[in-house]
């Protein structure tokens, strides 16, 4: 029985090349099968295991098969030394007449089907895995840890990375994989930017990604936003701001686009020149609306144009997923508002902000902050330290988590390294990059009094200059501004933290 089986199998051990290839292909093939089985029965596969099973092992498997073919070819040539090579026709006749040769052909055919099946499964799983969130966020852990951590706590935490960064279509898939090879090499050699630069200048247009879910025609109306902040006083006094945002979009009564989302109206096109790589300084702005074009130039224009761009979603929503806290004050206010910090601890807001501004090892932050809070309250408020020991320890843990998700010294990421351009509450730029009342239309026009509020400025000659307006009412209506008892219905105050 064993002899018959061996008669079917070619001499895969005929020389060291064939033997090495056979060993390599066998080990790699079994490894792929093990990873596939584990992936099927397990809900969570280690990213490094998946990368090895779906990317490395298939390549080793192909190398093994190539070595087997090379070894058998070398053995065949060795047997023909001194003889004449058999023509193809004679070889075919020999195979058909010789039972042993036919068995070997059948073996090769069966093995080829098995190999192709195995490679196809591995290739499919490999491509699928390369499009997974785990591959993007956890494989290059040291590089992508900040972005992955921010992503996991964002509104888009259940949206796959490739849905926004790649989108649909073979051309963007190939482009992303070629770019990915460069990034893998940079990570392997340690030759990458610290921090990772933003914005991504070759990102697919947002109209081809964001608008698959966020349909502009449905962005309409107004929304109330409530923001709670706290003072650095004994009682951590809460003050509240309430604004009504003119989200805008299409007005169903008039059929016109209004408010903030006027910028994405179908008949509006905004083009601008960025004077720096981070798109913080804006040069010329060109507005085309219903076929009419207006060019706005800044009163002070210096430097060379870094980029020319058509405005889309990410020019304002530049941190829709990878969201950091922005500042220690904002992070502490949010935790106080959500009940994760106890406002009954005297001067907690002041102490928490001071601790978050210190340079500490992120992994040691929670322990150090807990010790310093216990020391502070033990020295200044011993009764509070005894009565609210649990709240103090909880505050230390919360501040440690805030610090770890925002500060990454090895990547040179600190507070406000990645500012948001959405609005202007926690940023010095945002809307004011364009809406600075300093971008002036090339042609001055007389304007009616009804249009003065939209940004016209009078000159000494009685004429007016049309500018990109800075009128607050264009985007929102302030109902309360940092008031202890805002004069709004009580239910509004429970809407949440902005």
Per residue in 278-330, pLDDT tens? 898 999 999 998 889 999 999 877 678 999 999 988 888 888 889 899 899 99
Q: Name residue 476's beta-bridge partners.
A: 245
Check residue 209 and give left, alpha or beta (phi > 0: left; psi -120 to 50: alpha).
alpha
Token readout for 112 is 């080829």
Query: Which residues in the chain come in under a pLDDT of 70?
Result: 1-14, 39-52, 54, 78-98, 100-102, 104-106, 108-109, 123, 126-127, 140-141, 167-174, 176-178, 180, 216-220, 302, 426-428, 443-464, 491-498
**Angle 392-396-397 from CA coordinates, rounded to 5°:** 120
Q: Name residue 292's beta-bridge partners.
A: 289
**Domain spans of the chain, in order of start:** 2-130, 135-192, 222-320+435-494, 328-411
pLDDT of residue 363: 92
Integer Cα distance of 132 and 140 in angstroms: 13
């Amino acid at each position: 029985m064993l002899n018959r089986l061996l008669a079917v199998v070619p001499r895969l051990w005929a020389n060291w090349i064939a033997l090495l290839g056979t060993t390599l292909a066998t080990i790699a093939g079994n490894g792929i099968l093990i990873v596939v089985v584990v992936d099927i029965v397990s809900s969570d596969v280690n990213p490094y295991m998946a990368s090895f099973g779906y990317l490395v092992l298939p390549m080793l498997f192909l190398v093994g098969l190539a070595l087997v073919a090379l070894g058998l070819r070398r053995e065949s040539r060795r047997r023909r030394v001194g003889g004449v090579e058999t023509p193809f026709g004679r070889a075919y006749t020999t195979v058909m007449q010789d039972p042993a040769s036919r068995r070997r052909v059948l073996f090769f055919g069966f093995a080829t089907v098995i190999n192709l099946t195995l490679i196809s499964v591995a290739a499919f799983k490999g491509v699928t895995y390369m499009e997974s969130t785990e591959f993007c966020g956890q494989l290059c852990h040291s590089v992508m840890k900040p972005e992955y951590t921010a992503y996991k706590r964002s509104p888009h935490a259940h949206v796959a990375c490739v849905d926004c960064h790649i989108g649909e279509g073979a051309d963007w898939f190939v482009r992303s994989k070629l770019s990915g090879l460069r990034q893998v090499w940079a990570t392997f050699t340690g030759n990458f930017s610290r921090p990772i630069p933003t914005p991504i200048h070759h990102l697919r247009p947002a109209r081809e990604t964001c608008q698959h879910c966020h349909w502009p025609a449905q962005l309409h109306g107004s929304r109330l936003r409530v923001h709670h902040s706290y003072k650095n006083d004994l009682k951590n006094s809460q003050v509240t701001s309430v604004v009504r945002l003119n989200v805008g979009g299409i007005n169903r009564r008039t059929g016109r686009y209004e408010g903030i989302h006027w910028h994405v109206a179908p008949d509006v096109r905004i083009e601008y020149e960025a004077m720096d790589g981070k798109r913080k300084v804006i040069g010329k702005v060109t507005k085309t609306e219903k076929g009419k074009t207006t060019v706005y130039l800044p009163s002070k224009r210096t430097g060379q144009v870094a980029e020319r761009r058509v405005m889309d979603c990410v020019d304002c929503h530049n941190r829709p997923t990878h969201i950091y806290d922005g500042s220690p004050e904002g992070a502490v206010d949010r935790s106080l508002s959500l009940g994760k910090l106890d406002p009954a601890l005297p001067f907690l807001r002041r102490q928490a902000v001071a601790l978050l501004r210190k340079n500490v090892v992120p992994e040691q932050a929670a322990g150090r902050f807990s010790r310093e809070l216990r020391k502070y309250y033990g020295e200044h408020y011993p009764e509070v330290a005894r009565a609210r020991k649990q709240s103090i320890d909880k505050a230390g843990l919360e501040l440690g988590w805030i610090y770890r998700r925002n500060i990454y010294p090895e990547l040179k990421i600190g507070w406000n390294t990645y500012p948001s351009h959405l609005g202007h509450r926690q940023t010095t730029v945002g809307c004011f990059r364009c809406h600075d009342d300093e971008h002036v239309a090339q042609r001055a026009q007389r304007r009616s009094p009804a249009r003065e509020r939209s940004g016209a400025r009078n000159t000494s000659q009685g004429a007016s200059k049309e500018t990109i307006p800075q009128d607050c009412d264009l985007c929102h209506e302030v109902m309360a501004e940092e008031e202890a008892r805002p004069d709004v219905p009580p239910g509004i105050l429970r809407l949440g933290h902005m």
